[in-house]
Amino acid sequence: MGLVLVFDLDETVIDTTFWVNDPDIKKIFSQGGFLSPDETNILKKKIYDNLNKKVAEIILRAANLRPHTRFLPQWARNEKVSAICLLTNNLDKRYTALIDEVFQNISGLYGSGGKYENFKRSGLFRRPYFFDYIMIRNHPNRPKNTDNPPKRLEDVNRMLESLKIKFDILNHNNNSNLFFFDDRVPKHVIQSQIPDANYIQINPPFDINNNAADDKTDYSAILDRLDSIDHKGKEFRGMPPFCTERNCFGRPKGGSRRIKNGFKNRRRTVKST
């Protein structure tokens, strides 16, 4: 098994406060009905502007290391990154789907193992997804007796089982390949189930207005691991520009199809297969 990266959403990947406070968003949703393309693009641009760019860059770099295909048997894949997942206690499936779409748009990638059935269980819409698995708060496998259910190795195991990724939760070598990102204090249950360095505590919780100066998050463990498996990673030049269309960089490709935008070579083409 290659690296598995699992992310909380709110105040980890993105500062979510804008979604409930922004007057433009309130105006769009007050009108009811389906969103127009222009309204959707407004929402996606606001999502992009409120992303935690440090975390987003880690996600995008790892996405380019996912396997090209899952039709090969697991032993033959030689995976560097096996999966990138969201495990969130957010209930808003439209918001979550739009965040996924922003990542898909700016990268030109979608998850190599994300069968729609894995997203249907979270009530998400039928389309390709950037993340390999998204488990929101009301997913049928999450605990039902709390508004803030714990995040556990068991939840990660269920996601990986659905992706046909062999993961023995008692195998410490597997656990050392799992990285979990969250802002919560006190930490989630999973913190005691993986190596300390693999629990990336977003400190303080991401705030788009303050984090540039106050960020004390230690990303060294995941950055060191990515460096060790991706010697070309130093070519990464930060966040790609905002893009609203799925075909900004050509048709999205599965797995580790690399779009050159954001890297030293900035040609916006995808090698055909």
255 φ, ψ (degrees, to nearest 5): 60, -135
Q: What is the DSSP string of 176-201?
A: TTEEEEE--SSPPGGGGGS-GGGEEE
User: Which tokens hold the place of 266?
Assistant: 């900035």
In the chain, the largest separation of any two C-alpha atoms, in whole Å, equals 52
Q: How large is the average pLDDT for residues 210-231? A: 85
Residue 21 domain-assigned (yes or no): yes
Residue 63 domain-assigned (yes or no): yes
Residue 270 domain-assigned (yes or no): no
Residue 157 domain-assigned (yes or no): yes
Q: Which amino acid is present at 85?
A: C
Q: What is the pLDDT of residues 28-38, one digit of tens each?
A: 988 877 889 89
Residue 208 domain-assigned (yes or no): yes
Q: What is the number of domains present in the chain?
A: 1
- When mean pLDDT is compared across 2-6, 40-44, 95-99, 139-143, the lowest value belongs to 139-143
The predicted model scores a pTM of 0.83
Q: How large is the average pLDDT for residues 62-71? A: 72
What integer pLDDT is reported at residue 18 of this predicted model? 93
Q: What is the pLDDT of residues 168-180, one digit of tens each?
A: 666 655 688 999 9
